[in-house]
A and B are shown apart, each in its own frame.
Chain A
Amino acid sequence: MADKILAQLPDDLGHFGQFGGRFAPETLMSALEDLEKSYREAQQDAVFQQRLAELLRDFVGRPTPLYFAAKLTKYCDGARIYLKREDLAHTGAHKINNTVGQGLLAERMGKTRVVAETGAGQHGVATAAVCAMLGQECVVYMGEEDINRQSLNVFRMRLLGAEVRPVSSGSRTLKDAINEAIRDWVTNVDSTHYLLGSVVGPHPYPMMVRNFQAVIGREARQQTIESTGRLPDYAIACVGGGSNAMGLFHPMASDHEVKLIGVEAAGLGLDTGKHGASLTAGSIGVLHGTKSYILQDEAGQIRQTHSISAGLDYPGVGPEHSYYKESGRASYVAVTDDEALEGFQLLSQQEGIIPALEPAHAIYYAATLARQLSKDHTILVNLSGRGDKDMNIVAEALRVQL
């Protein structure tokens, strides 16, 4: 019974237990209702689903492989480590799974203009690519701080025909880019679709983005069974807003033998206050239209966050993760910048795969866990993106002059 409830969430108003919902300005309420209706129709529409499946195959390159990390496994001398290779998806990360789906949905709703926020730039690039392919006008909001640390992705978005608008308010990172994207959407709601990139925001976004990303978990579940004859003991993914993790977790929510672990950014350390660990170190609040764990001060103001990875530098998290935490279905841990850098180098050197800094957090945790487990255990890690975009940051952190 509990399994069934977990798989059926959210309820009609977008609630996952006490979390989620639709805390949105009235201007957007009708648009959110329309979006939900269109999405539910598209779910039942065989033509839409076939077009989505074709694009996921031919444009994105799905299914992505499951890779047995033999050398890393040997190095850790413990549990067998498998990587779900979302880094091999088109544009270099899992973000494209959702942008293809929402891009098609925008087209179906007759919206010719798309706005998006981006942190690391991966969601912005994935949105720009899909908009180019579908012929939609694309505006991406990006914090100035992120523009500075992810200049390569800014260039990629512009090459793909998107307009990148710098955001100079607040902490000048992902949170502020979302504020600006929402303000744009409120102003241009009739012509514009807001292509939100994570399982956050008001209903139906957490549900819809999860469902578009669930292709990760469906494939990985099947591939793990084919490779090992059974389900993994652990499924591990990094969590910023939480879309790659929820995409991996959701299809395995009812497989209780699979332990689900989300890895957040501990930044400079949880005790420094400079981190992005909403679930591990936050409290319940409302941010960007949804009720979830957030990082806030005693007066309810949203706190500044820090992570070496722009994609995890966010003071909130998807409401379904909060529900998984509260219900005990998943557990959440946090890994520091330095540890993520260690994971980054470890995978590069052991497997010849350079991960993005975001999943480098998950890699570090998985390697640590593998050492404590016997060889008959398996760990499935979502390698949600590749590290090309992070070369400058890592070089700087390792004090290498490029």
Chain B
Amino acid sequence: MSRIGAIFATPQHKALIAYVTVGYPSIEATLQVVPALVEGGCDMIELGIPFSDPLSDGTTIQRASHGALQQGVTPKLCIEVAHKLHQMVDVPLIFMSYFNPLLRYGLEAFCAASSEGGIDGIIIPDLPPEEGVELERLTERYQLDLIYLITPTSTEERLRLVAARSRGFIYAVSLRGITGARETLPADLESFLARVRDITSQPLCVGFGIATPEQARRVVNMADGIIIGSRIMEIVENSPQPASSAQAFIEQIKNAISPH
């Protein structure tokens, strides 16, 4: 079992996953915020590699990506940061990247360096299973989990395809749209997750739009974990004490999703 898979081995435990854009507003901030998030109760960390054209992302992560690129953040630097974080925290680290920066780096070189740097998995929002065959082969060779996404618009055929090919867990996108904190989650979320549950017993983590303890509690009723990104990046961006503010926020979420 992979390190990611092991997180889901404890019955009733709900995984809490936080997303952080690497290098925003600075590398130092990332190196402080990530350990604080783990201290606050995160089970895994998603490290976002910034991209110039993040078409699945809303304004918060667009701004973070743009800011990180202004700081000169590259995939190579992200791997170095991951390596440092791997020595600081004992939770699985997952890269989130659009496909082009990986392709440019060289898929095999990227997998090798990521694995070496202590990365456990990769999420690529613009790589569906149809285009992922080569990367699946490489991630397997370098013991990385390639995590695919499903969405409320996925047909039953596609749910089966993703369920058969995703490794570590399945990333369930809660809504039709892009990333970003939302006031409310869609009404059909439960029926969507039930549809997925009918098809697979793979761990299911829900992301996109989740920003409050109430939303988190609602989601874990139907899923094995939640992923929070934009709200954390808003806090990191706006707080004078990014690490402690992010930790305080994640503690609230952790509390909301832990069995009482």
Q: What residues of A have a CB within 8 angstroms of the CB of B103 in the complex?
A: 284-286, 300
Complex alpha-carbon distance, A186 and B153, angstroms: 10
> Once the chains bind, are A25 and B55 in contact (CB under 8 Å)?
yes
> Once the chains bind, are B126 and A179 in contact (CB under 8 Å)?
no
Complex alpha-carbon distance, A29 and B125, angstroms: 12
Complex alpha-carbon distance, A176 and B130, angstroms: 26
- B75 at interface by CB-CB < 8 Å: yes
Complex alpha-carbon distance, A186 and B56, angstroms: 8
- Per-residue CB contact flags for chain B residues 133-157 toward chain A (1 = under 8 Å, else 0) read 0000000000000001111111100
Given A182-B55, A190-B176, A302-B52, decide whether A21 and B102 contact each other with a Cβ distance below 8 A.
Answer: no
B174 to chain A: closest CB distance in Å?
Answer: 11
Complex alpha-carbon distance, A189 and B126, angstroms: 16
Complex alpha-carbon distance, A175 and B99, angstroms: 17
A265 to chain B: closest CB distance in Å?
Answer: 19
- Per-residue CB contact flags for chain B residues 17-55 toward chain A (1 = under 8 Å, else 0) read 000000000000000000000000000000000011111
Chain B: which residue is nearest A14 at the CB level? B130
Given A26-B162, A29-B158, decide whether A179 and B53 contact each other with a Cβ distance below 8 A.
Answer: yes
Q: What residues of B have a CB within 8 angstroms of the CB of A368 in the complex?
A: none
- A27 at interface by CB-CB < 8 Å: yes
Total residues of chain B contacting the partner, CB 8 A = 40
Choice from B53, B101, B148, B177 contacting A299 with Cβ under 8 Å: B101
> Once the chains bind, are B100 and A287 in contact (CB under 8 Å)?
yes
Choice from B51, B75, B130 contacting A13 with Cβ under 8 Å: B130
> Once the chains bind, are A23 and B99 in contact (CB under 8 Å)?
yes
- A30 at interface by CB-CB < 8 Å: yes
Q: What residues of B have a CB within 8 angstroms of the CB of A187 in the complex?
A: 176-178
Choice from B52, B55, B158 contacting A26 with Cβ under 8 Å: B158
- A301 at interface by CB-CB < 8 Å: yes
Complex alpha-carbon distance, A306 and B230, angstroms: 32
Total residues of chain A contacting the partner, CB 8 A = 38
> Once the chains bind, are B51 and A301 in contact (CB under 8 Å)?
yes
> Once the chains bind, are A31 and B153 in contact (CB under 8 Å)?
yes
- A74 at interface by CB-CB < 8 Å: no
- A153 at interface by CB-CB < 8 Å: no
> Once the chains bind, are A26 and B101 in contact (CB under 8 Å)?
no
Choice from B58, B101, B149, B151 contacting A301 with Cβ under 8 Å: B101
Given A30-B155, A186-B177, A299-B104, decide whether A170 and B52 contact each other with a Cβ distance below 8 A.
Answer: yes
Chain B: which residue is nearest A296 at the CB level? B104
Complex alpha-carbon distance, A95 and B129, angstroms: 33
- B247 at interface by CB-CB < 8 Å: no
Chain B: which residue is nearest A299 at the CB level? B74
- B89 at interface by CB-CB < 8 Å: no
> Once the chains bind, are B101 and A27 in contact (CB under 8 Å)?
no
Q: What residues of A have a CB within 8 angstroms of the CB of B75 in the complex?
A: 299-300
Chain A: which residue is nearest B127 at the CB level? A23
User: Which of B74, B131, B154 has the most CB atoms of chain A within a 10 A radius of its CB?
Assistant: B131
A291 to chain B: closest CB distance in Å?
Answer: 8
Complex alpha-carbon distance, A29 and B131, angstroms: 12
A174 to chain B: closest CB distance in Å?
Answer: 12
Complex alpha-carbon distance, A9 and B100, angstroms: 24
- A289 at interface by CB-CB < 8 Å: yes
Chain B: which residue is nearest A23 at the CB level? B126
- Per-residue CB contact flags for chain B residues 92-104 toward chain A (1 = under 8 Å, else 0) read 0000000111111
B105 to chain A: closest CB distance in Å?
Answer: 7
Choice from B100, B131, B150 contacting A21 with Cβ under 8 Å: B131
Q: What residues of A have a CB within 8 angstroms of the CB of B173 in the complex?
A: 26-27
- A327 at interface by CB-CB < 8 Å: no
B36 to chain A: closest CB distance in Å?
Answer: 28
User: Which of A23, A24, A182, A187 has the most CB atoms of chain B within a 10 A radius of its CB?
Assistant: A23
- A22 at interface by CB-CB < 8 Å: yes
> Once the chains bind, are B62 and A169 in contact (CB under 8 Å)?
yes
Chain A: which residue is nearest B149 at the CB level? A26
Complex alpha-carbon distance, A178 and B155, angstroms: 25
| 19 A-B interface contacts by CB (under 8 A) | A13-B130, A21-B131, A27-B151, A27-B173, A29-B130, A29-B153, A30-B154, A170-B66, A182-B55, A183-B177, A186-B55, A285-B103, A286-B100, A299-B75, A299-B105, A300-B100, A301-B52, A301-B69, A302-B53
**Chain A positions near chain B (C-beta within 8 angstroms):** 13, 21-31, 33, 169-170, 175-176, 179, 182-183, 186-190, 284-289, 294, 296, 298-302
Contacts A25-B151, A169-B62 supplied; 16 other A-B pairs, CB < 8 Å: A21-B131, A22-B130, A25-B125, A26-B150, A26-B151, A29-B153, A170-B66, A179-B54, A183-B56, A183-B177, A186-B56, A286-B126, A294-B100, A299-B104, A300-B100, A300-B104
